Structure 1
């Protein structure tokens, strides 16, 4: 996920090897303003309440049907087959919470905030305040070292600077980290819930002030999370033994991590990394660090609209169904400016992610820089 200064090469897919244009920032800024004006005039920022109402009704009905099905199946091993279905439904809930947090559903910021908190904390089980704080930073500085926490990981190295201070065993692991990514997604659901609960339950003295703001109204989130887990456990224990209930939760969290994590991983990983303190205009920053994932309705469904990451980063408050409508306009605009616009197939995007992660990891093992790593360090 990343750039340092202007990174001319990355295994990100079709045009990711193009160098960052040297046009004046003022021209890019005014050009984005002109693009935004055309988008507004086309009505693509207007709310799509009917679309979101239908999706909310569908996920609410699915959750009710799943709760009923669990009681009907009861204390039989077949009940575990419902866990992946629940994970899929909760992933769609998380996508809706994401859209509400970006002010995509309602005209009122307060209504969006309430909807997002209910969808994220009360239903999906992830603290709205914790997620919103880190996600806002990501949108402001995608793939920038020292700012975007999405490229900070204790286990993986998303850029060469992250290799520093790692032990020999850890460096060996990192040489194959691209392949380890897939089994690691199985525990991503656990990690997300643990990080969310930790942020809500306590604040360490060494946390930056931004982390405090990120968990605003933590007690509301804490109440919602507690209620959510109490209802979840109650529904399961009313139908099955504690052992089966525990296995059900483990299976659901594993599938949830694969589905939700899998939707986020291809969007920025393997794209240029921005060095600490690097200044860049909004249009270039958002476009060159993002990758779109091409595909049909299935890709749209499983990635929750995040497969049009370029458009989402340029217009974060644009309703999800409008992203495909604005895509041709954005692509033409980038071509006119000479700004690299990256789009890959679903397999191609993941191949680029694996190649990039392994390249970064191998650079640490050799203790020398391959061309990609050298550019990332520049």
Structure 2
């Protein structure tokens, strides 16, 4: 299934193969414009700002003490940790430094040490996603994870998952509140699992120390009930913010069968969606609003994405490639419409098959 544009028209499509690619001349234009240069001053300023924000939240936590106003600090921490996650994401794409090792060190320190996510797990999953965005059977972001993104997966759902899948468009936003817990659990399972984990010992130390440092003061300073409420709010805000930032990127865009052979430019552009909003939206979404440019040039620093957008739009217009850009609200509308369409393939859980057959007769 695919959604060719933000207009909301679903159709089955097989992207043409062997089409001439305009990526080489596009890449040359981007290089000539100097848009692949690193922006270390920007990232140093961003890191400083986030560290100061984190320090302010910690100071507020200490000063408030036993007070339900602590839930405001919890919400702020959810936002701050998400912003740190955006920075870790950019480091993983080599956007911060020219040295891969330097990017990895910063990315692992931020992701595992500050946010509490496994850097190794993220790198493995996200690298595969970038290589095959929206390719059914290859993109790990399309795998079943409570909800279903492919109708075949929805049809295979049973029991509670079938019920959730059937109503996944209505439950989509509430489920995102649990995404923070889901990400932390997956990170620990990966770090302690049997599969290959890069720098496993360091990653385990960072994850465990981060968990202890974050959780212990909460239960030492706050009453038990308030402490659980604090953690709940922080994790809910973190999950919602992360989910709401990543959901508009590809859901409802063109999906490719595993045997389709679109050229690189078309595969990345047709499967991605940009969000309008300029600099405020860029700050809010950590540069993910320029998803098309990010997929075409993964190592491009955040400040260069807006300028690259103009060049990419011109290339797509010249080559007749649909370039999707919409508002955030419209993107969510399309995402929910797509989730609803896929969800209809799930079995009806609480209906008697005999009664259903009789009704069809």
**Is 2:277 the counterpart of 1:299?**
no
Q: 1:259 to 1:176 in 2, by over 3 A?
A: same
Q: 1:85 to 1:151 in 2, by over 3 A?
A: same
1:104 corresponding residue in structure 2: 95
Q: How many residues align?
A: 348
Contact 2:17/2:261 (CA < 8 Å) preserved in 1?
Answer: no
1:376 corresponding residue in structure 2: none
Which of these residues, 66, 74, 81, is aligned with residue 65 of structure 2? 74
Which of these residues, 277, 280, 290, is aligned with residue 308 of structure 1? 290
What is the distance in 1 between the residues matched to 2:6 and 2:223? 47
- Structure 2 portions without partners, runs of 5+: 349-361
What is the distance in 1 between the residues matched to 2:337 and 2:215? 41
Residue correspondence of structure 1 range 133-172 to structure 2 within 5 A: 133-167=124-158, 170-172=161-163
Q: What's the TM-score once normalised by structure 2's chain length? A: 0.91
Residue correspondence of structure 1 range 284-295 to structure 2 within 5 A: 284-295=266-277
Q: 1:14 to 1:301 in 2, by over 3 A?
A: farther
What is the distance in 2 between the residues matched to 1:259 and 1:169? 26
Residue 170 of structure 1: how far off its partner (Å): 4.1
What is the distance in 1 between the residues matched to 2:50 and 2:221? 22
Contact 1:13/1:344 (CA < 8 Å) preserved in 2?
Answer: no
Which of these residues, 306, 313, 319, is aligned with residue 337 of structure 1? 319
**Is 2:276 the counterpart of 1:276?**
no
Residue correspondence of structure 1 range 26-45 to structure 2 within 5 A: 27-28=20-21, 31-45=22-36
Contact 1:11/1:356 (CA < 8 Å) preserved in 2?
Answer: no
Residue correspondence of structure 1 range 1-378 to structure 2 within 5 A: 7=2, 9-10=3-4, 12-13=6-7, 22=16, 24-25=18-19, 27-28=20-21, 31-167=22-158, 170-203=161-194, 212-213=195-196, 215-364=197-346
What is the distance in 2 between the residues matched to 1:240 and 1:285? 51
Residue 315 of structure 1: how far off its partner (Å): 0.2
Contact 1:308/1:323 (CA < 8 Å) preserved in 2?
Answer: yes
Q: Greater relative contact order: 1 or 2 (C-alpha under 8 angstroms, separation 6 or more)?
A: 1
1:369 corresponding residue in structure 2: none
What CA deviation, in whole Å up to 9, does each residue of 1:284-309 have, x standing for no partner?
11111001111133322221110110
* Higher mean displacement: 244-253 or 87-96: 244-253
Contact 2:152/2:345 (CA < 8 Å) preserved in 1?
Answer: no
What is the distance in 1 between the residues matched to 2:297 and 2:241? 24
- Structure 1 portions without partners, runs of 5+: 204-211, 367-378
What is the distance in 1 between the residues matched to 2:287 and 2:198? 27
What is the distance in 1 between the residues matched to 2:106 and 2:163? 44
Residue 172 of structure 1: how far off its partner (Å): 4.4
What is the distance in 1 between the residues matched to 2:9 and 2:311? 18
